[in-house]
Structure 1
Amino acid sequence: MTLRPLLEDVTQNTSTRFVSFTAGSHRFELALMKADYFQNQTMVINLPKNRQALLDHENINKIGHLEHMFQLSAMEAEELRNYLPDLL
């Protein structure tokens, strides 16, 4: 077995919260992971779509950010945006 060079190899304890909810006509299944490595942001993983983003209270309100990161329609993103502040 040959050794491959790594740019980084970090192990940390994390806290992960799994939430499922319906907002409007959409169902969201998320994993929210917190670790010191993320520097005051939360890794939010949309489980069914296998998409993730580092989010905080500031960037969830940037127009188009959730739409782009999670491949959501404007309506879906707005529904998610209403829930995220309480989850982060």
Structure 2
Amino acid sequence: MSDRFFLYDDTENTKTRFVSFVGENQRYDLAIVQSDRHYGKFLVLNMQGNRYAIIGPDDLAEEGYLEYAFQISDAEAEELKSFLTEML
């Protein structure tokens, strides 16, 4: 077995918020992780769809980002964007 070459191996305290809500189009079960790792952005995990993204206010303003990252429709992305805009 060869030696592993780590790029990094850090331990960090994080704050995680678990939230579930029902929109017009879908149910959302999210884990929102806040840490210093991503320069003020949040790690948002969609536990229903098994997808995640690193999201900040600039990402929410980018057209098509949530649709691509979470593989959801435009209507679903609008619901998620509305929630995340209030939360972030």
In 2, distance between residues paired with 1:48 and 1:79? 15
Query: What's the TM-score, normalizing by structure 2?
Result: 0.92
Partner residue of 1:5? 5
Query: What's the TM-score, normalizing by structure 1?
Result: 0.92
- Runs (4+) off by over 6 Å: none
Partner residue of 1:78? 78
% identical equivalent positions? 40
Q: Tell me, which stretches of 5 or more residues in structure 2 are unaligned? A: none
Partner residue of 2:67? 67
Q: For 1:13-40, what per-residue CA distance to the aligned partner results, in whole angstroms no more than 9, with x for missing partners?
A: 0000000001113110000000011111
Partner residue of 1:19? 19
Q: Residue 61 of structure 1: CA displacement?
A: 2.2
Q: Residue 72 of structure 1: CA displacement?
A: 0.4
Number of residue-to-residue matches in the alignment: 88
Q: Residue 2 of structure 1: CA displacement?
A: 5.1
